[in-house]
Structure 1
């Protein structure tokens, strides 16, 4: 069974970083989804794709995957570039664009 270990990014609707501190182990579904012939809904026989396990550290998630003999990939988080600006820069004399109301 294949698993993915990653640290979730903050969503566009979040201003804080509340749910981005834990590492997540998520199983990848091996079976393809299919349309139910009676209702036409999308179905799948393998429910492991719905399982998400949360760990405090990356090493705990890797140890669990190794202990359960899972093949896994680790996606390292990319830190966003911080633009350090102050409010006074909006009114600086050397602005590239003129300040207007």
Structure 2
């Protein structure tokens, strides 16, 4: 069963990095989704896609996949630059500002 190993990106709604440190192994869909004719819900016959395994390192995830005969594809994360301002948030309220604070 094919799987992918990746490190999740941060959510678009926050600037924090929670839940982005561990590596995740997800299984790929083996069958197509089916639409229930009565309710209109989509469903899958394969329950393996609900399994998300978390690992501390990429090597642990690869070792697990190799040990269990899983064909895994590793997706490397794109590292982002830190956006740290020199003065920080407190600079907005500094008493020694050069110009008047307008908003």
- Same fold by TM (over 0.5)? yes
What is the TM-score with the length of structure 1 in the denominator?
0.80
What SS is found at the alignment partner of 1:13?
Answer: coil
Corresponding residue for residue 2 of structure 1: 2
Structure-1 residue corresponding to 2:69:
69
Aligned to 1:11: 11
Q: Partner of 1:96 in structure 2?
A: none
Number of aligned positions between the proteins:
96
- Please show how residues 1-101 of structure 1 align to structure 2 within 5 Å: 1-87=1-87, 101=103
Deviation at 1:43, TM superposition (A): 1.3
Q: TM-score, normalised by structure 2?
A: 0.78
The ranges of structure 1 where at least 4 consecutive aligned residues each deviate by more than 6 angstroms after the TM superposition are none
**Mapped partners of 2:15, 2:85: distance in 1:** 17
Question: How far is the alpha carbon of 1:38 from its aligned partner?
Answer: 2.8
Displacement after TM superposition at 1:81 (Å):
2.2
1:13-33 superposed Cα distances (whole Å, 9 cap, x missing partner): 223212111000001111000
- RMSD (Å) for aligned C-alpha atoms: 2.3
